Amino acid sequence: MNLRQKPSGIWVVDFEGPDGNRRRVSTGLRDKREAAKRAREIVLGIDTPPPPSTAPRPGSEAAQGLTMASLFDLCCKGDGPWSVRAAKSQRTVKSNVKILTEMLGSEPVSSIGVLRLNQLRDGLFARGYAPATVKRKLDAVSRALTYAVSLALIPSRPAMPSVKIDNLQDRVLEDDEEAAIWAAIDRRIAAEPQRQWTRFRHLIRWLLDTACRLGEPLQASPSWVATHRQRAVLEIPAWATKTGKPRAIPLSEAVVETLTYLRVTATNDKLFDMLPATVWYMWDTIRADVREQTKLNIDDVKLHTLRHTCLTRLLRGGLPLHKVSIWAGHANVKITLERYAKVNVSDLMDGLDILDAPPTPHLKAVSA
C-alpha cells in the first residue's frame, strides 16, 4: 500500500487488489491521519463511501416540511457542499453545523427569508462573534440554501444580509512587546516542559518571520522546505493557501534554526501538529503572562498581527511593494498597499531635512 498526495492536497492510495491488479483510489481527504485510516479500510475492502444524499422529492410533503437541520445534514452527505470530499476543513463544518443548528435548525427551510437571516446575523453578533466570523457562518447558510435551490427544494435563495468587515490591520508589534513575548514563552518552557511550549515558540517565530497565515504552518510538511540558491525556502502548495495559488517564502536564519527540532519531533507528517484552538489558547496564556509580568497590554495583538508586523517591516526595510505583495500571497499589489503599507509618522521625519534646508537657487527663481 502506498499513500501519496495529489497537488490538490487529496491523499490517494495505490495498492494491489484481490485480482492482482494495481488499483488507485482517492480517499477524498486532505488530512494525512484520517486519509491513512480510510486507506486501510479501502485496501481491506471495508471502506464505507460517504452516505448518499437522501433529499426528499421536490414538491413532496417531506420537502415542504424540511428543516434547516435536515438541510445541513444533506449538505454533509453525498455530493453536498460540506461532504468530506468537498469541504477542506471538516472541523469548520462541524463547528458551523453545531452553532447554526442551535440557532435555526428546527425551522422549515421554506420559512427562511431576509428578515430571519437578519435576525440570525444579529444573534451571532449578540453571541460575541467577530464580523469576519459572522460573515463566514452566514456564507455557510448561503451555501446550504443554494444547495437546496439546486435540489429544487426551494424556488430561490433569499438575499443574504451584509456584514461590514474592516480588513485593515493598523497594529504592529513593537520591539519591547516582542521581547516581552519571547521572555514569557521562555518562562513557560522552563515551568511546563511537558507541554508544547517549545513548538509554540517556533510557531510564533515562523509567523513573525514568514508572514504566513496560521493555517499554513499548521499544515506544513517537512517536504515543503526546499533549497534555493543555498537558502531554505518554504514552498506552500496551492491547496494550502487562501488564494489557491502556490507560493514560496524565503526562510530567515531564525526560522532555519527551528527546523532541526521540528523535523525530529514531527508527527503525522506535520512540522506543527497542533490544533488552531490549542495555539489560540496558548497565545491567550502568553498575552496574560505579558500583562502580569511587564504591565504591557497586548490583548489587541492577534496572531494575524504577527503577519502584519512582518510585512510592514519588509516594506519599511526597503523591499519593493510588488515583492512584498508576492511574499504575502496577495492577489494584487493594491491589497498590499491598502492593508499593510501604513506609514508611521517616524517614517516621514526624513522629509524635514528637505523642508528645513535652505532654498536652492532654482527654487528661489521659481518663487520669484
Looking at residue 367, what is its pLDDT?
41
Burial degree of 206 (CB within 10 A; 0-12, 13-18, 19+): buried
Average pLDDT estimate for 39-64: 69
Task: With beta carbons less than 8 A apart as the criterion, state whether 321 and 333 touch.
Answer: yes
CATH fold of 61-150 reads DNA polymerase; domain 1 (1.10.150)
Does residue 368 carry a pLDDT above 70?
no
Which secondary structure element, helix H or strand E, spans residue 312, and what is its range? helix 303-316
- Of residues 252 and 332, which shows the higher confidence score? 252
Query: What would the pLDDT profile of 182-222 be if each residue is shown by its tens digit?
Result: 999 999 999 999 999 999 999 999 999 999 999 999 999 99
Query: What would the pLDDT profile of 275-294 be if each residue is shown by its tens digit?
Result: 888 999 999 999 999 999 99
Give which of 179, 167, 165 is closest to 328, Cα–Cα. Answer: 167
- Domain residue ranges in the chain: 2-44, 61-150, 175-347
Rounded-to-integer distance, Cα 231 and Cα 246, Å: 19
What predicted TM-score, i.e. pTM, was given to this entire model?
Answer: 0.65
Query: What would the pLDDT profile of 304-323 be if each residue is shown by its tens digit?
Result: 999 999 998 998 888 888 99
Which secondary structure element, helix H or strand E, spans residue 3, and what is its range? strand 2-5
Does residue 168 carry a pLDDT above 70?
no
In sequence order, the 6+-apart residues with CB closer than 8 A to the CB of 132 are 165
CATH superfamily of 175-347: Intergrase catalytic core (1.10.443.10)
Domains 61-150 and 175-347 share a fold: no
Rounded-to-integer distance, Cα 124 and Cα 128, Å: 7
